[in-house]
Amino acid sequence: MNIKSRPSKCFVYNRLDNLLRNRYDEVGVDAASANFKNCSKFKTTKYYGVDIDLSAVRQGVETGGENVFGIWADLSELDKLPSSSVGVVVSTFSLYHLVWSKRQLALVNLCRLVRSDGLLVVELLTDENLDDSIKIIEEQFNFIEIVYFKNYLSQWYERLIQNNISVTGDLYYFANTLPFRFLAWFLGFFEFFTYQKKGSNKHALIIAENKKNKINNNFDLSQFPMIGKNIFNLMTK
């Protein structure tokens, strides 16, 4: 159960739990992982958190286990990572922060990383670039499911919280208390009535499987230098 302060996040993280529950692959990659926010959801043997914020990557590695690794990298510059080598690739609440030119590059490489039997889960805005983003994914996968979320009810509740930050902050404070987080979790159930409707939602969770390229490789990062324990450096040109 994911009890967050925002209904849309309660919905999408519960869906992510269901998707990853039985994915016992060798390697999992969490793109734009911050301090490895999705690490506990991965059931893969090894978890790799990728982020451009080195301090967040360090924090994630420090609090993770022996098989938790960090990759310090720009999401738009992952072309050196081995193709068709990752069982599970996930990116949540991150890609839409990139300008479209960089988002394109990131999507192409995240798709490229997935093994033939692997799973890709990416979260995007339902903006003017969504159709082009879906086309990039369709070029590499045979099966795609789109789950739309953050409906009008979630938008209203989350806007109420967000607007209150700049006024008194009181409602924002209460929104993070357990009773209000349960309220957000309850409101998140209404996402199930609207998840098939693009027009009423601001975000989309794209799930892709059955890759067209059937070649698989090992996720070998031995060519990259390391920064301390379990952190690979892809920022060095």
Residue 236 pLDDT: 72
Whether 10 maps to a domain, the answer reads no
Whether 100 maps to a domain, the answer reads yes
- Contact predicate 87/25, CB 8 Å: yes
Whether 7 maps to a domain, the answer reads no
Whether 99 maps to a domain, the answer reads yes
- Contact predicate 113/80, CB 8 Å: no
Kindly give the confidence (pLDDT) of every residue in the chain, 237 residues in length, as a single tens digit, with 9 standing for 90 and above.
678 889 999 999 999 999 999 999 999 999 999 999 899 999 999 999 999 999 999 999 999 989 999 999 999 999 999 999 999 999 999 998 899 999 999 999 999 999 999 999 999 999 999 999 999 999 999 999 999 999 999 999 998 887 655 444 556 667 788 888 898 999 999 999 999 999 899 999 999 999 999 999 999 999 999 998 899 999 976
**Gap between the Cα atoms of 30 and 206, Å rounded:** 15
Q: Report the number of distinct structural domains present in the chain.
A: 1
Whether 35 maps to a domain, the answer reads yes
Q: Of 77, 60, 78, which Cα lies nearest the Cα of 69? A: 60
CATH of the domain at 81: 3.40.50.150
Whether 184 maps to a domain, the answer reads no
CA of 95: how far to CAs of 54, 71, 117, 167, in Å? 18, 17, 23, 29
Residue 2 pLDDT: 77
Whether 61 maps to a domain, the answer reads yes
- Is the pTM above the cut of 0.95? no
Burial 6-36 (b: 16+ CB within 10 A, else e): bbbbbbbbbbbeebbeebebebbbbbbbbbb
The Cα angle at residue 207 between residues 206 and 211, in degrees rounded to 5:
120
Find tokens 């990116």 and name the residue. 91
Domain that holds residue 118: 18-149+202-233
- Give the HSE-up count for residue 186: Cα atoms under 13 Å, Cβ half-sphere: 6
Whether 28 maps to a domain, the answer reads yes
